[in-house]
A and B are shown apart, each in its own frame.
Chain A
């Protein structure tokens, strides 16, 4: 198999080059370490949020007193009206104001009865502190979704409360950092092929009877090995900083693995289109950095305007981030993230195929 020979050669070129290998692992690792040190561990940090219960049902009470109150990073202050809560927010006494509207319990109940619910919560937050706000939004979002999913309240109530008590800041940020690390594989994947083009080694390879798909597979496979190592390191490091993977670790790994294939394939497309490293490198960064922002690797996407969210949804990384968070934080099972996995798979296949087509077109200019 020619592509295996090529993959082995590329892997050797990478692991024998300390600078390239260092960049590949160290750059995202640095982010992980920084965020881990900053957000991991047993931090006593918590945010006070105001809650207004306009529903005043047993279910809304259960949600506020049993679910929200048990989340370590949240301290609950109750208010009689949303005006009072908003006023308190303006005075910086609380970080966000959550209104549980009338009918909330009824809608939750509908879901438990397998009917379509229309659950609406009103949340007012301080947008000057995006990091804190995104944490709160994400945490409440997760809590509501879990609460609404419960089919038999008495039996599963304890379970989802336990799930929610595990949420910490590192749980939220770690999946994003891992996806960011995999996004950085766009430039690094392109690098070896473009370097071979620039030095002329590619000409030597192209003069052999090797098919375009074998080239792309050969260059991709070596990066895939790096990606697997990278994912394992990041997961272990995340766990060392207190990330708790509630869901199936294999499912989380699958999401990261598909994301890595997408990044590598996008890197191959860039490599096929670029003639030199000077062309490829800025192109890769122009692609990967905006994607990191659009995909919510640093912040929760809920705080972004709708059109930005839509733009992010076109690309695989937002789906990867949300699916990874669902699995890691909420313990979502395959069926819950299947749509994201399908999107990632389609992206991986299309990008890989496009890489082959472009390489074929460009290989004999």
Chain B
């Protein structure tokens, strides 16, 4: 698996699929049982210190020094990364503002909300301006609003940083990533862009039709022509390998149903995941 400079790659998989283990190996926190990886040319087995010089990590747990302030947390990591104290202070102050934590800069972080802690955790991964950033489940446990805000921020880093992100949220991987590696039982089951994976999984088309006046007779006629038909209230879901949009909607119209709207259903990442691993991704 290669990750290009400036790319955001998401490792997608359920708990226990090996996402965090992969990140821990790449961050030189865990020794691989076999094999190796190179980060900007540095071997993770032989040049751990060089690797650590070019990476920033936001671990899965919101691991912060709870009795330090946000500024102190950032300054600590900056200094451990070899940034001179005056620069560490300036960068920390700037990053605190960028992450929207300016007003609480003097508070100990144990008083922060989950979302604030996550933002600070990501800031700590970015403090020394590393070329490569590892974000392990960056939005785990956040409410939808906080998650969306964090996505926006991570998306703003795309192209500027090379990011490896782990998640078990389909939507997150779909929204953020350039490429997705689907992990299953410690192995990469599939690798490609979100669209690639969806297209690869698509072995049939589905047309969704919202219509009035779908009588039992009309439904029988439709089911007689198309083998895979589902009805939910006024919505019909018709699937098939060779499904022509115009021909299908014309036929439904001919049964006396009044069509309000109709569209092709896009294949979802969830469908792709199910197809690739044979399992549903539950969190």
| A-side contacts of B79, CB under 8 Å | 2, 5
Segment at the A interface, from B8-16, B25-33, B186-194, B272-280: B25-33
CB distance from B30 to the nearest CB of A (A): 7
A residues 172-207 in Cβ contact with B at 8 Å: 199-201, 203-207
Would you give the 0/1 interface string for B57-72, flagging 1 where the beta carbon is closer than 8 Å to chain A?
1011101111110001
In the bound complex, what is the Cα–Cα distance between A5 and B78 (angstroms)? 10
Q: Kindly state whether residue A209 has any CB partner on chain B within 8 Å.
A: yes
The A-contacting residues of B in range 77-129, CB under 8 angstroms, are 77, 79-82, 108, 124
* Complex contact A200–B61 (CB within 8 A): yes
- Given B55, B67, B80, which contacts A205 in the complex, CB threshold below 8 Å? B80
Count class of interface residues, chain B:
20 to 34
Label chain A's interface by main secondary structure.
Answer: helix
Q: Report Cα–Cα, A199/B65, bound state, in Å.
A: 9
**A364 contacts B29, CB within 8 Å?**
yes
Q: CB of A17 within 8 A of chain B?
A: yes
- Residues of A within 8 Å of B66, CB to CB, are 13
Q: Enumerate chain A residues within 8 angstroms of B48, measured Cβ to Cβ.
A: 364
| CB within 8 Å for A210 and B63 given contacts A9-B72, A13-B68 | no
A45 within 8 A of B: no
B65 near A200 with CB under 8 A, answer no
Chain A, residue nearest B51 (CB):
A209
Contact of A12 among B30, B61, B64, B67 (CB under 8 A): B67
Cα A200 to Cα B57 in complex, Å, equals: 12
Query: How far apart are the CA atoms of A206 and B49 in the complex, in Å?
Result: 10
**Interface-centre pick from A16, A199, A204, A364 (highest chain B CB count, 10 A):** A204
The answer on a CB contact under 8 Å between B80 and A365 is no
Cβ-closest chain A residue relative to B45 = A364
Interchain pairs with CB closer than 8 A, number? 72
A42 sits at the interface (CB 8 A):
no
Q: B53 at interface (Cβ–Cβ under 8 A)?
A: yes
Q: Which bucket holds chain A's interface residue count?
A: 20 to 34
Chain A residues contacting B236 (CB-CB under 8 Å) are none
Q: In the complex, what residue of chain A is closest to B20 when comparing beta carbons? A: A203
A200-B63 in contact given A205-B80, A208-B81 (Cβ < 8 Å): yes
- Determine how close the nearest CB of chain A comes to the CB of B189; give it in whole angstroms: 27
Provided the pairs A12-B68, A365-B30 are in contact, do residues A208 and B77 lie with their beta carbons within 8 angstroms?
yes
Q: Does B269 contact A (CB under 8 A)?
A: no
* Minimum CB distance partner of B108 in chain A: A16
Q: For B124, give the chain A residue with the smallest CB separation.
A: A204
Q: Which residue of B lies closest to A3 (CB)?
A: B80
Question: Which residues of chain B have C-beta atoms less than 8 A from A5's C-beta?
Answer: 75-76, 79-80
Is B52 positioned at the interface, with any CB of A under 8 Å from its CB?
yes
Establish whether residues A204 and B59, one from each chain, have CB atoms under 8 Å apart when the complex forms. yes
The 6 closest A-B pairs by CB, nearest first: A200-B61, A208-B80, A200-B63, A16-B67, A5-B79, A209-B52
In the assembled complex, 12 residue pairs joining A and B whose CB atoms fall closer than 8 Å, in A order, are A5-B80, A6-B80, A9-B72, A9-B76, A12-B67, A13-B65, A199-B61, A201-B63, A201-B65, A203-B24, A207-B55, A208-B52
